[in-house]
């Protein structure tokens, strides 16, 4: 289907049409596709969203939902842009992007993402400042374009740390390692349970490491690293752990966006997480999560 006049297409998009993966068919595809960009109210995310939207509209994305004041100016870039006011007005399939600077409180978005395969939650590392907004906006736009053109799968969660050149590494092809069929019967379980009790009401965190003899040992993160949200010291990852575990004191076993982002973006981490719902006296519940690179999201295995 020819969406736009070829003379308009070559004049406006000639530079882009030359690039492998776009070309004439890809450009026509972009004209027919849409994206929704949501962001939190931080200055970083607002400017990054604007930059991303301007790159997408410049590239010829046909439909956009961006409920921000700056969105009204986007038709000055491309008068043929269709600005949507609700998701129902967007074409299907459509890429959904959520930009957040702070991962806490993103559980609802992550749950929503689980049911929407063409959606992505982007989290900025805490070191990001407003000066990073344009670079991050470009990265967001590239994610959307690559997903729209079928060049790259859209990851469910991307955590971006511009201080780390290897970031974002949002998926891993390493096969998930199984922790065992009945975890409370494993020799290492009492150590983890005791650590959760002693740390309560703050989080306990650590890794499970398999030694040369095959035995699994527990490494505990220092308390200072787990008081608010678990961040493992880098030396914990010099040897790839069997799993990363942490507790949710008086909480559930849902993998939060922050949990997902940490383990996904760290290139040394193995894609297995054990989340423990702890009380003052015991582990009330637990769940193991495996990251599926093919599915592009975390999969959980019920205990």
Cβ closer to other proteins: 84 or 139? 139
**134 contacts other proteins (rule: CB under 8 A):** yes
What are the backbone dihedrals phi and psi of residue 281, each rounded to the nearest 5 degrees, phi first?
A: -120, -15
The nearer residue to other proteins, 12 or 229, going by C-beta atoms, is 12
In a 13 Å sphere around the CA of 13, the CA atoms on its Cβ side amount to 27
Can residue 79 be called a binding residue for other proteins (CB under 8 A)? yes
Using a 10 angstrom Cβ sphere, with 0-12 exposed, 13-18 middle and 19 or more buried, the burial of residue 261 is: buried
Q: How far is the CB of 140 from other proteins (least distance, A)?
A: 8
Question: Binding segment for other proteins among 101-109, 134-142, 183-191, 237-245 (CB under 8 A)?
Answer: 134-142
Other C-beta atoms lying within 10 Å of the C-beta of residue 295: 13
Place of tokens 């040394």: 268
CA distance 247 to 224: 15
Which residues, 6+ apart, have CB-to-CB distance to 208 below 8 Å? Answer: 179, 188, 216, 217, 218, 219, 241, 242, 243, 244, 245, 274
Among 3, 38, 135, 209, binds other proteins (CB under 8 A): 135
Q: Which listed residue (40, 107, 146, 285) binds other proteins by CB under 8 A?
A: 146
Report the alpha-carbon angle 56-68-46, nearest 5. Answer: 75
Among 187, 205, 188, which residue's Cα sits nearest to residue 196?
205
Q: Which is nearer to other proteins, 168 or 206 (CB)?
A: 168
Is the separation of the CB atoms in 71 and 53 below 8 Å?
yes
Count of residues engaged in binding other proteins, rule: CB under 8 A: 48
What CA–CA distance (Å, rounded) separates 298 from 275?
A: 13
Q: Alpha-carbon Rg of the chain, whole angstroms?
A: 22
Among 1, 2, 20, 213, indicate the residue that binds other proteins (CB under 8 A): 20
Asked whether position 26 contacts other proteins by CB under 8 A, the answer is no
165 scored as a contact of other proteins (CB under 8 A): yes
Window of 92-100, 111-119, 162-170, 205-213 that interacts with other proteins by CB under 8 A: 162-170
Question: Does residue 132 interact with other proteins by CB under 8 A?
Answer: yes
Pull the structure tokens for residue 116.
């929407």
Pick between residue 162 and residue 183 the one whose CB is nearest to other proteins. 162
Q: Is residue 25 close enough to count as binding other proteins by CB under 8 A?
A: no
Binding site for other proteins (CB under 8 A): 11-22, 47, 51-52, 54-55, 58-60, 73, 76-79, 129-135, 137-139, 141-143, 145-146, 152, 160, 162, 165-169
């Amino acid at each position: 289907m020819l969406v736009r006049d070829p003379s308009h297409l070559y004049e406006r998009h000639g530079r882009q049409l030359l690039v492998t993966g776009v070309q004439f068919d890809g450009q026509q595809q972009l004209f027919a596709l849409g994206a929704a960009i949501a962001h939190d109210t931080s200055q970083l995310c607002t400017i990054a969203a604007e930059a991303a939207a301007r790159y997408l509209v410049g590239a010829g994305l046909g439909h956009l939902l961006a409920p921000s004041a700056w969105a009204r100016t986007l038709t000055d870039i491309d008068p043929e842009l269709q600005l949507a006011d609700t998701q129902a007005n967007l074409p299907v399939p459509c890429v959904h992007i959520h930009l957040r600077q702070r991962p806490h409180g993103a559980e609802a978005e992550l749950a929503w993402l689980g049911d929407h395969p063409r959606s992505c939650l982007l989290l900025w590392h805490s070191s990001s400042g407003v000066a990073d907004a344009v670079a991050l906006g470009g990265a967001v736009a590239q994610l959307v374009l690559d997903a729209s053109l079928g060049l790259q799968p859209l990851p469910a969660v991307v955590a971006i740390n511009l201080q780390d050149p290897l970031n974002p590494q949002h998926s891993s092809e390493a096969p998930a390692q199984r922790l065992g069929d009945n975890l409370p019967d494993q020799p290492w379980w009492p150590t983890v349970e005791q650590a959760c009790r002693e740390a309560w009401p703050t989080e306990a965190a650590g890794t499970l490491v398999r030694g040369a003899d095959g035995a699994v040992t527990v490494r505990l993160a220092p308390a200072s690293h787990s008081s608010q949200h678990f961040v493992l010291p880098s030396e914990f990852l010099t040897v790839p752990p069997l799993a990363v575990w942490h507790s949710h004191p008086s909480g559930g076993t849902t993998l939060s966006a922050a949990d997902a982002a940490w383990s996904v973006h760290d290139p040394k981490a193995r894609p297995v997480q054990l989340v423990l719902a702890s009380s003052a006296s015991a582990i009330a519940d637990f769940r193991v999560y495996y990251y599926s690179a093919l599915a592009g999201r975390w999969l959980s295995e019920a205990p």
